[in-house]
A and B are shown apart, each in its own frame.
Chain A
Amino acid sequence: MNMLEQLVTSFIGTAGFSVLFNVPRRTVVQCGFVGLLGWLIYISCLEVPADPIIAALLASCVVAVISQICAKVYKTPIIVFSIAGIIPLVPGGTAYDAMRSFVEYDYETALQLAAKAFMISGAIAIGLVFSEAINQAIRKLKIN
């Protein structure tokens, strides 16, 4: 796999996507970078090779941490950055493959793929929430 082409396409792809979601103009480039970092971690984990679910969990965790930093720096809701970051991780491809297997009456593969898509989206959400929980814990410890 060509690393450079993956980096460039993930940057442009996520930045383009953030425009579709109407992110504020000044944050488009940052959104691209968040997406690039998330994708970089995801594909490097796959190269190891690690489980795609673990890879998605790690990547979304990192995306959430960076998004929190960006949200603080640019005084913008965190969702602006985290959405851009997780877009490439979201298992659209797996879901599509599952749907296709269903149509071809290959129910066994279809169910496997559907379960996998569900697990990956769960891992992404847990990754996001996990870093948020850590952030809250840190804030609470600082106050007390």
Chain B
Amino acid sequence: MMESGGETYRVEDTMMRIAAACGRERSHSYVTPTGIIFSIDGPDSGTRLVRISERSTDLQKVTDVNDISRRIAQGQLSVQEAIQLLRELETAKVGYPFRVKLLCAAIASGCFMIMFQGEWADFAAAFVIGGAALSSVTFFHWLVKAKLFSELLAAVIVGVLACLAVQIGAGNQLDKIILGSVMPLVPGLLITNAVRDLIAGHFVSGLSKGAEALLTAFAIGSGIAFVLAFYNGAGW
């Protein structure tokens, strides 16, 4: 769940509930974005540590795990069945095919451009560049496993394409086009999750999520800024 972008408290809560349903009332869980520690008190006590390295947003998985835990807590599922279901979920390819996501990213970019007071004349440009943003970030992430690097390169591509679009007359407002097109990259989920964790008292989680969001925002900002610096300087 943590890998898929669930809230910290929900992960902790889920683990404690499952433990309680299995007859282990006294359990402790400590969840951070990079690792989970879980221990059970009592005569046959035990502790587990799980390391988390990949993080993304997959709310389908969060929902499914939540369903399973609810059924365990209500006693509808035995432990073996639950483990079986979770294993299946881990390997299952849930979610939408990439072309659907691409289309959605493109449409969403166009729509956001309009919402930020853009002109309809720029819709096509934002549509194309928003799609390019998602495909390039996916491609670069597949190429190199460094998140920061893939986001930076994707932002550079967005910047170049947006400048080109304005240059050849396919768009008018450079700012609005860039704004709409980077929306698929912007770490909106992370930022708010970070502040929520902080307010809830999960300081380690909040700060590390905040750092991740800040890095992403920095990558996008500097990628775009890099292109704009050349564009304004050279004046082509």
B200 and A83 form a contact (CB under 8 A):
no
B15-23, B30-38, B44-52, B97-105: which lies at the interface: B97-105
- Give Cα distance in the complex from A32 to B144, angstroms: 33
Contact size class for A? 35 or more
Q: In this assembly, does B68 line the interface, its C-beta being within 8 Å of a C-beta of chain A?
A: no
Residue of B nearest to A1 (CB): B117
Q: Are A103 and B59 in contact (CB under 8 A)?
A: no
CB distance from B138 to the nearest CB of A (A): 11
Q: In the complex, what residue of chain A is closest to B229 when comparing beta carbons? A: A103
In the complex, the chain A residue whose C-beta lies closest to that of B116 is: A93
Interface assignment of A41: CB less than 8 Å from any CB of chain B: no
Chain B residues contacting A9 (CB-CB under 8 Å) are 110-112, 114-115
Contacts of A86 in B (CB 8 A): 188, 192
CB distance A20 to B134 under 8 Å? yes
B164 at the interface (CB under 8 A from A): no
Q: Is the CB of B108 within 8 A of A12?
A: yes
A99, B222: Cβ atoms closer than 8 Å: yes
Asked if B221 contacts A22 (CB within 8 A), the reply is no
* A109: interface (CB < 8 Å): no
Shortest CB distance B27–A (Å): 21
Range class of the B interface residue count: 35 or more
Interface SS, B side: helix
Binary flags per residue of A1-39, CB closer than 8 Å to B gives 1, else 0: 100011001101111111111111000000000000001
Per the 8 Å Cβ criterion, residues 72-94 of A in contact with B are: 75-77, 79-80, 83, 86-88, 90, 92-93
Q: In the complex, what distance in Å separates the CA atom of A22 from the CA atom of B34?
A: 22
- Indicate whether A54 reaches chain B with its CB closer than 8 angstroms: no
Q: Which chain A residues (46-76) contact chain B, with CB distance < 8 Å?
A: 75-76
Evaluate whether A22 and B111 lie within 8 angstroms (CB atoms) in the complex, with A90-B186, A96-B178 already known: no
Q: How far is the CB of A119 from chain B (nearest CB, A)?
A: 11
Knowing A24-B59, A93-B179, the reply to whether A100 touches B224 (Cβ < 8 A) is yes
Q: How far is the CB of A118 from chain B (nearest CB, A)?
A: 10
* A16-B105, A99-B221 known; A79-B60 Cβ under 8 A: no
B92 at the interface (CB under 8 A from A): no
Task: Give Cα distance in the complex from A109 to B32, angstroms.
Answer: 36
In the complex, the chain A residue whose C-beta lies closest to that of B60 is A22
Nearest-Cβ distance from residue B28 to partner chain A, whole angstroms: 22
**Complex Cα distance A86/B187, Å?**
12
Rounded to whole angstroms, the CA-CA distance of A9 and B188 in the bound complex is 18
Are the CB atoms of A125 and B195 closer together than 8 Å?
A: yes
Q: Is the CB of B184 within 8 A of A20?
A: yes
CB pair B104 A19 closer than 8 Å: yes
Other-chain contact of A100, B4, B67, B189, B228 (Cβ < 8 Å) = B228
Q: Give me the interface of B with A, judged by CB distance under 8 Å.
A: 4-7, 10, 57-63, 66-67, 70, 94-96, 100-101, 104-105, 107-108, 110-112, 114-117, 134, 175, 178-179, 182-184, 186, 188-189, 191-192, 195-196, 198-200, 217, 220-222, 224-225, 228-229, 232
Given contacts A21-B189, A96-B224, 13 further A-B contacts (CB under 8 A): A9-B115, A12-B107, A19-B104, A20-B57, A20-B134, A23-B63, A75-B67, A76-B63, A76-B66, A77-B6, A99-B217, A99-B225, A125-B198
A-B contact pairs, 22 of them (CB 8 A): A5-B114, A10-B111, A12-B108, A13-B115, A17-B104, A19-B101, A20-B108, A20-B134, A22-B95, A77-B6, A79-B10, A83-B188, A86-B188, A90-B191, A90-B192, A92-B188, A95-B221, A100-B221, A102-B225, A121-B192, A121-B195, A125-B195
